[in-house]
Amino acid sequence: MGKSFSYGSGMIHAVPVIDFVGVLQVGSLELGTIEVNAQPIPAVKFLLKQNQPYLILASGHLAGEVYAYCTVALEKGIGEIDMKLACTLIMDVDRNLYTVTSQITWYTSSTLREQAAARILNIFDKGALGEFKTSDIPFIKIKS
């Protein structure tokens, strides 16, 4: 059972880390934001396939990393990338639970890995390009 910690006017609930090993569905990637205390943070949403599919969110630098890997994979005609994720459950302002990744291990070729690393630097310089679906509405809204 997780502990509750007071933080400002709200509560943050500590939850266990959940490990997922599966296959990222490159074509499922969607670009958007997570809103934390009314401040938008860059984020991506994607489908991870295991025995059943899971919808996963990544924010900040991890969102850029996922975007870079998916962009390179798409250019190479690769539709799936093996990965391991460490995730936590986050509750939004409407009390819905979402799975958010905090760590990613990629199981892919060194070529894809190297090209994705170079692409990450381009994202910081030029921003994301329009190969994937984009959401104008935040994926989740969180208040702490």
CB 54 within 8 A of CB 96: no
In a domain? residue 37: yes
In a domain? residue 1: no
Burial of 64 (0-12, 13-18, 19+ CB in 10 A): buried
**In sequence order, what E strands does the chain have?**
4-7, 10-13, 18-25, 30-36, 39-49, 53-59, 80-91, 97-107, 133-134, 140-142
What's the pTM value of the predicted model, to 2 decimals? 0.84
In a domain? residue 5: no
User: Two tokens at 103?
Assistant: 């760590």
In a domain? residue 2: no
Number of structural domains found in the chain: 1
Which residue range forms the structural domain that includes residue 123?
A: 13-142
In a domain? residue 121: yes
- Predicted pLDDT of residue 4: 37
CB 130 within 8 A of CB 25: no
Positions in the chain short of pLDDT 50: 1-11
- Predicted pLDDT of residue 8: 41
- Predicted pLDDT of residue 127: 58
Q: What is the CATH number of the domain that holds 126?
A: 2.40.50.140
Query: Within 10 A of 88 (CB to CB), how many other CB atoms are there?
Result: 16
In a domain? residue 3: no
Please give the backbone phi and psi of residue 140, each rounded to the nearest 5 degrees, phi first.
-145, 155
- Predicted pLDDT of residue 10: 47
User: In terms of Cα–Cα distance, which of 83, 82, 99 is closest to 18?
Assistant: 99
| Residue entry with tokens 């990393």 | 65
